[in-house]
Amino acid sequence: MWIPRFAILCVVAMGSTAFARDNNPAKTFERAAQRSTLNQATTKPFHLKALLAPSLERDAGSNRTGEVEIWWASPTRWKQEVRSPEFHQIAIVDGNVQWQKNEGQYYPEWLRETAVALITPVPNLHEVLAQLESADVKRLAGTTDFSWTMMSTDGSVQKGMGCGLALNDRTGLLVYGGCLGWGAEFKDYSDFHGRMVANTVSVGSPEVTAKITTLEDLGNVPPDFFDAQASGGDHPLLETAIVPEASLRKSLLQMEVPAWPPLQDGPLEGVLTTGVVVDRAGRVREVGIIVSDNPGVNEAAEKAISAMQFAPYLQNGIPVQVVSRITMPFKSVRPAGVETFDSARAYFERGRQVCCPSAHTGSPYVLQAEFQATLKDGSVENGQYVDTWKSEEDWRREATIGESRYVRTRHGDTWYELAEGPDAPLLRLVFQLIEPIPAMDTFVESDWRIKRDTVGGVKTVRVLSGYEAPDGTLDPEHARGFWFDEDGNLQKTYFMGLESRRYDFRSFNGAEIPQVTRVIQDDNQVMWIHVTQVAAASNIPESIFKLPGHEWTRAFTSEVR
């Protein structure tokens, strides 16, 4: 099962487009989906072949390799062959007649979802369009993002799991989309007789990437190529159904009572949910990513869910594979004699109060800094940053380097954003490095793990999300970390593969401001930031907080300002 990956995107294209301002987002998405769907009546018959392999080297042992080949004449006349180390299927559809030959009793869900995504990026389009009528719509990193919550319940408690999709504002094409039983990321589009087809499709967790190696006109095929009446087929057909949790639970025969471990951090009581795949014999074959109020219970929950046994789920009297959800409550205790930590939220809120003068309600100020970075053209230049703060409702941040400028301001209830020049994305990154602590409205407590660490001989508490290898190496694409000392000072950050180290803290307006920030990537310094002056300000003209024509609605960004 696929869960959208919401990475921290900083170096992105700015600006808005007519596409992003569409007054009917659902219609905009419907057009985008239809542009990329091969499986529709007006598509020219085609032959497609794709090779599948794990997206990341660390998942090389996941056994998720294979291929998908499709010969398609129409939505009701096609042939498909899928192959992986553990499963092989040839399927033919000719009108109302279907034929299958299977090697293996279980069709892996990652393989099924990949085969579907290659030709039907959004398989249940009408259901998704209904969700989009009330979905949350935001701008993020040059995309228009739609998100909604799919609730599930065990009959006593309920919990939501996020669903979402995104469209590229420039091209109008699907970037990613997913919910229970479907989803993928889509890249490398090319035209096929008016259809814009993603040649790279990534699915599942551990993630597998399918790369289309052949997409051509179908051409001539033998007369019996789509013969769904041929002998030797399997009966009954191997099919997969996506059903509500309440329907699946009616077939539940037994469940191991979870032995919840003592929880050192986070809430002791809560709810968790995850997706599951159950085979035709009623055995749980896959457990998805667990969404929990405390990730400390996830391992025990996965063990308990994996041990569930169901009666075969029948559809029209025939056992089918099932994709569904499992939701359950948990309750635990603190371990005796073991150090406990505050919540991640508490460390972030305290850290913001300590490190950011804008987090206080004190007197107005102007902060000036200079920085050095490598520009898009390869030259190394010095840039300038100015933060002018009058109040929470009136402030301005501006960074310039070379021929580029990036400005964010607020005046009352109106926000503004201005991005000019080729290095505006770099300047936005400077904003994040100076005020790096994430906003609480982008925050999910269960995403973060906490432990003791040392930075340059200073004792710290590390708050980390994303993948960390057994040897401590952090995933440069997804890991995000913050190291706070005992006073709450932010000593170090990590995101986008960039490590920033903060030095020479000096007090101003109740905040401890680092005078120097060094940014490291692959053991090389790629940027430095030097705060040159912080001073109280008076008589700040109101006009500097306005940028007429550049009004901006804050999207789902991680920055507070």
Q: What pLDDT, on the 0 to 100 scale, is given for residue 26? A: 80
The yes-or-no verdict on residue 305 having pLDDT over 70 is yes
The yes-or-no verdict on residue 38 having pLDDT over 70 is yes
Q: Which helix (H) or strand (E) holds 30?
A: helix 25-36
DSSP 474: B
Pair of tokens at residue 221: 């095929």
The yes-or-no verdict on residue 263 having pLDDT over 50 is yes
The yes-or-no verdict on residue 16 having pLDDT over 80 is no
Pair of tokens at residue 325: 């959800």
Residues whose CB is less than 8 angstroms from the CB of residue 383 and which lie 6 or more positions away in sequence, other chains included: 370, 371, 372, 373, 399, 400, 401, 402, 427, 430
The yes-or-no verdict on residue 292 having pLDDT over 50 is yes
344-552 is a CATH 2.50.20 domain: yes
Q: What pLDDT, on the 0 to 100 scale, is given for residue 134? A: 87
Mean pLDDT, residues 403-421 taken together: 95
CATH topology of domain 240-331: 3.30.1150
Q: How confident is the model at residue 13 (pLDDT cuts 50, 70, 90)?
A: very low
Pairing outcome for strands 404-411 and 394-401: antiparallel
Q: What pLDDT, on the 0 to 100 scale, is given for residue 341? A: 85
Mean pLDDT, residues 141-148 taken together: 87
Mean pLDDT, residues 13-21 taken together: 36
Other beta carbons within 10 Å of 364: 17
Q: How confident is the model at residue 448 (pLDDT cuts 50, 70, 90)?
A: confident
Q: What pLDDT, on the 0 to 100 scale, is given for residue 114? A: 98
- Its pTM surpasses 0.75: no
Separation of alpha carbons 477 and 393, rounded Å: 34
Q: What pLDDT, on the 0 to 100 scale, is given for residue 19? A: 39
Cβ atoms of residues 298 and 263 within 8 Å: no
Q: How confident is the model at residue 23 (pLDDT cuts 50, 70, 90)?
A: low
Q: pLDDT for 329-368, tens place per residue? A: 999 998 888 777 888 999 999 999 998 888 866 789 999 9
Mean pLDDT, residues 394-415 taken together: 96
Mean pLDDT, residues 427-448 taken together: 87
Average confidence score pLDDT of the chain: 91
Q: How confident is the model at residue 556 (pLDDT cuts 50, 70, 90)?
A: low
Q: What pLDDT, on the 0 to 100 scale, is given for residue 11? A: 31
Q: What is the CA radius of gyration of the chain?
A: 26
Q: Which residue has the tokens 């014999």?
A: 281
Q: Which of 211, 207, 209 is nearest to 197 (CA)?
A: 211
User: Quick one: three-class SS letters along 415-436?
Assistant: EEEEEECCCHHHHHHHHHHHCC
Contacts 24+ apart (CB under 8 A), 340-345: 340/264, 340/265, 341/264, 341/265, 341/450, 341/461, 343/265, 343/266, 343/445, 344/443, 344/445, 344/448, 344/450, 344/463, 345/440, 345/443, 345/445
Q: How confident is the model at residue 20 (pLDDT cuts 50, 70, 90)?
A: very low
Q: How confident is the model at residue 513 (pLDDT cuts 50, 70, 90)?
A: very high
Mean pLDDT, residues 132-147 taken together: 85
The yes-or-no verdict on residue 265 having pLDDT over 80 is no
Sequence ranges of the domains in the chain? 25-124+178-217, 240-331, 344-552
Q: What pLDDT, on the 0 to 100 scale, is given for residue 17? A: 35
Phi-psi region of 275 (alpha: psi -120 to 50; beta: other; left: phi over 0): beta
Q: pLDDT for 367-386, tens place per residue? A: 999 999 999 999 999 999 99
Q: What pLDDT, on the 0 to 100 scale, is given for residue 252? A: 96
Q: pLDDT for 460-510, tens place per residue? A: 999 999 888 888 999 998 899 999 999 999 999 999 999 999 999 999 988
The yes-or-no verdict on residue 439 having pLDDT over 90 is no
Q: pLDDT for 53-96, tens place per residue? A: 999 999 999 999 999 999 999 999 999 999 999 999 999 999 99
User: Quick one: three-class SS letters along 68-126?
Assistant: EEEEEEECCEEEEEEEECCEEEEEEEECCEEEEEEECCCCCHHHHHHHHHHHCCCCCHH
User: In this predicted structure, which of 7-21, 264-278, 377-391, 400-414 has the lowest mean pLDDT?
Assistant: 7-21
Q: pLDDT for 173-209, tens place per residue? A: 999 999 999 999 999 999 999 999 999 999 999 999 9
Q: How confident is the model at residue 27 (pLDDT cuts 50, 70, 90)?
A: confident
